[in-house]
């Protein structure tokens, strides 16, 4: 079964020939951004014409985007591509599977709902809507020991300060 997933987000233009920086959201960068790879966004298609690494940043050229103005129009665009569950390793999940899951504590008490996933170089963060507001939870096994997409829930170990404010000891 395949589904559409975000594999990157377009950043700022790079140079004058229509290339852009891309913040990848995939472990398969070379395959996902190979020449000819296609992405969907806002009902349109983008086709990779070139890609390279410059100072540790992925730089991508898309077919038909030939100048800085065209590249600037792409800033912030999410790049969606087809993905199948078979591409994932054990204990890996697509963002679309995680969003909407109920967050519960180890005893099953409702804590909130996952409303997003943020990808950062150090680790991914779950955005959890709680009664106290939105909270960011590092997506690591010590804090999120169980993810059960079939039951539409995940378990969070709510250490002090993770999902609620900790009072000052004044």
CATH number of 95-155, picked from 2.30.30.240, 3.30.980.10, 3.90.400.10, 3.40.50.300: 2.30.30.240
> Residue 155: helix, strand or coil by DSSP?
strand
Domain ranges of the chain: 2-86, 95-155
Q: Which CATH architecture has domain 2-86?
A: Beta Barrel (2.40)
From CA 138, how far away is CA 122, in angstroms rounded?
10
Per-residue pLDDT at 87:
58
Per-residue pLDDT at 68:
94
Q: What is the DSSP letter of 59?
A: E
Per-residue pLDDT at 2:
56
> Residue 47: helix, strand or coil by DSSP?
strand
Global model pTM greater than 0.75: no
Which secondary structure element, helix H or strand E, spans residue 10, and what is its range? strand 2-14
Per-residue pLDDT at 1:
46
Enumerate residue ranges in the chain where pLDDT < 70. 1-3, 84-90, 166, 168, 170
pLDDT tens digits, 80-106: 888 755 456 667 777 778 889 999 999
């Amino acid at each position: 079964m395949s589904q559409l997933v975000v594999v990157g987000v377009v950043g700022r233009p790079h140079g004058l020939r229509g290339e852009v920086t891309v913040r990848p959201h995939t472990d398969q960068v070379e395959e996902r951004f190979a020449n000819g790879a296609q992405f969907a966004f806002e009902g349109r298609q983008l086709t990779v014409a070139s890609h390279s690494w410059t100072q540790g940043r992925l730089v991508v050229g898309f077919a038909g985007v030939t100048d800085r103005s065209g590249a600037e129009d792409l800033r912030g665009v999410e790049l969606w591509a087809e993905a199948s569950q078979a591409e994932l390793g054990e204990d890996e999940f697509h963002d679309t599977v995680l969003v909407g899951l109920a967050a519960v504590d180890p005893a099953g008490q409702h804590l909130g709902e996952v409303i997003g996933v943020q990808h950062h170089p150090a680790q991914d963060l779950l955005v959890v809507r709680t009664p106290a507001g939105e909270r960011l939870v590092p997506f690591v096994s010590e804090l999120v020991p169980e993810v059960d997409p079939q039951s539409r829930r995940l378990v969070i170990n709510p250490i002090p300060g993770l999902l609620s404010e900790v009072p000052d000891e004044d």
